[in-house]
Amino acid sequence: MILSDSQSAIAYLRSPAAIRERCGIIFAAAEAGRAPHFALHLDRLPETARYVKRVIRDSYPTLTIPYHSRWRHFAAGGRDRWATLAASFKDRSVEDIARVRFDLALTSVLLDAGAGEAWSYREPTTGDRFSRSEGLAVASFDLFAAGAFSSEANDRLRADATALRGFSEAALASGFQVTADNPLVGLAGRAALMRRLGEALASDRELFGEAGRIGHLFGYLSRRARNGTLPAADILDAVLRGFSPIWPGRESIDCVNLGDVWRHSAIRAADRTDGLVPFHKLSQWLSYSLVEPLEDAGIRITGLDRLTGLPEYRNGGLFIDSGVLIPRHADLLRTRHVVGSEPIVEWRALTVILLDRVAGLVRAELDLAAADFPLAKILEGGTWSAGRRLARERRADGAPPITLDSDGTVF
């Protein structure tokens, strides 16, 4: 099939190769001292890698590290909530359990963009209080378990179009315990995202079935597997196809929403992709989060390192706080930035390439091959946790080094 110029541009911008290529252009500009917003100090990267290695050894002494995914946050506070919920299942097939896990992971990931410094969630069953990503995970888990995303009274553990299209800001505020004294960044944006998710589920029957259920995506991906194996890029391709329409006010080509794609002045192309830098952070994290349900259902995932590191504020903050990235203008760290501003796009692009670089150095430090220690494990065991740890060492509240004006759909 011959693709039009627009279709070719969209397909390119949805590929992991495009993420690395476009971010690499910005990285090359930084190496040459021509990036407008950050100076790059690669001489500090080896020490950063050693810091990441120490964090990995502290958290995983035997180097038995799971993938960086939403499933880790469901075990916040040392309690494996998914295992507890799954233990209550009776006569559910492997396929049905995988569908439930898809429903849970996707809704939780999409509700995970940064919570802000003031919000926290008190778990009703334990009384424990959680904030940031862990709090969002536990709160979204409880919402899912209560049937907030299901239209079927007799099957609450699902997420479907009918329920999500009617999901209200008030329902999210109640479930996430939001009050004037416990404000959540991007509350309205998150609720609107759920409603747009419902519309997307209803619009693609091949991916989501007649009922418009997220979990139907498991069957679609299972059918794409060959000899029991599925490339990780196929997961991302399906996620981007199914969910790109939900993102608000983004770049588009011929009315096709591109998702987590932004502009930077260093990018020049003689086609419809001119100026555009793709990241697909939440979509890639969701793809990582679907690997375990697929593998547990007997499907082997290949090519996991074709996906990129996640350009978000913990991974990106690691490189600012360790001195690898130095803002060229002091006020960059003092002002609030919208996610599409060029300094943030540049920061994220440099983070993608630096994660690849630091991964190589960490593997060398630990004497491990890439096949044995994929990027998804380095993100989980090291860079994300190292970014959080450094933030706490640098700032009392553990906030990222750059202040973001998030709409609840990116960071």
Per-residue confidence (pLDDT) for residue 2, from 0 to 100: 66
Per-residue confidence (pLDDT) for residue 379, from 0 to 100: 93
pLDDT digits (tens, 9 = 90+) for 104-147: 999 998 888 767 778 999 999 999 999 988 999 999 999 999 99
CA distance 112 to 131: 11
CA distance 183 to 167: 19
> Mean pLDDT for the chain?
93
CA distances from 309 to 60, 255, 285, 359, 380 (A): 20, 28, 9, 10, 10
Identify any residues that bridge with 337 across adjacent strands, giving them in sequence order.
Answer: 404
pLDDT digits (tens, 9 = 90+) for 35-78: 999 999 999 999 999 999 999 999 999 999 988 888 889 999 99
What is the CB neighbour count within 10 angstroms for residue 362? 24
pLDDT digits (tens, 9 = 90+) for 223-257: 999 999 999 999 999 999 999 888 877 899 998 88
Beta carbons of 18 and 272 less than 8 angstroms apart? no
Q: Which residue has the higher pLDDT, 355 or 133?
A: 355
Three-point CA angle 107, 108, 109, nearest 5°? 95
Above pLDDT 70, what percent of the chain?
98
The encoded tokens of residue 383 equal 């860079």
In 3D space, the residue among 213, 218, 215, 282 whose CA is nearest the CA of residue 244 turns out to be 282
Phi then psi for residue 130, to 5 deg, are -130, 150
Q: Which residue has the higher pLDDT, 352 or 190?
A: 352
CA distance 60 to 92: 33
In 3D space, the residue among 231, 268, 299, 301 whose CA is nearest the CA of residue 16 turns out to be 231
Beta carbons of 280 and 312 less than 8 angstroms apart? no
Q: Which residue has the higher pLDDT, 29 or 339?
A: 29
Per-residue confidence (pLDDT) for residue 408, from 0 to 100: 58
What is the CB neighbour count within 10 angstroms for residue 94? 11
What is the CB neighbour count within 10 angstroms for residue 126? 11
Identity at 309, one-letter amino acid code = G
Phi then psi for residue 255, to 5 deg, are 70, 10
The encoded tokens of residue 234 equal 């196929």
Per-residue confidence (pLDDT) for residue 407, from 0 to 100: 61
Helix boundaries (H) for 87-186: 94-110, 132-145, 161-165, 169-175
- Mean pLDDT on 355-361: 96
CA distance 275 to 253: 13
CA distance 195 to 184: 18
Q: CB-based burial of residue 371 (10 Å sphere; 0-12 exposed, 13-18 middle, 19+ buried)? A: exposed
CA distance 168 to 366: 48
Per-residue confidence (pLDDT) for residue 409, from 0 to 100: 63
| Residue found under tokens 């920061």 | 347
DSSP summary character for residue 392: H
- Mean pLDDT on 29-34: 97
The pLDDT-based confidence of 4 (bands split at 50, 70, 90) is: confident
CA distances from 169 to 122, 136, 165, 291, 336 (A): 19, 15, 12, 30, 25
CA distance 262 to 311: 13
Residues shown for the chain: 411
Per-residue confidence (pLDDT) for residue 269, from 0 to 100: 95
Q: pTM of the entire structure?
A: 0.89
In 3D space, the residue among 22, 84, 25, 85 whose CA is nearest the CA of residue 278 turns out to be 22
pLDDT digits (tens, 9 = 90+) for 260-283: 999 999 999 999 999 999 999 989
CA distance 381 to 401: 21
Per-residue confidence (pLDDT) for residue 378, from 0 to 100: 94
Phi then psi for residue 188, to 5 deg, are -65, -40
Beta carbons of 5 and 265 less than 8 angstroms apart? no
pLDDT digits (tens, 9 = 90+) for 175-199: 999 999 999 888 888 899 999 999 9
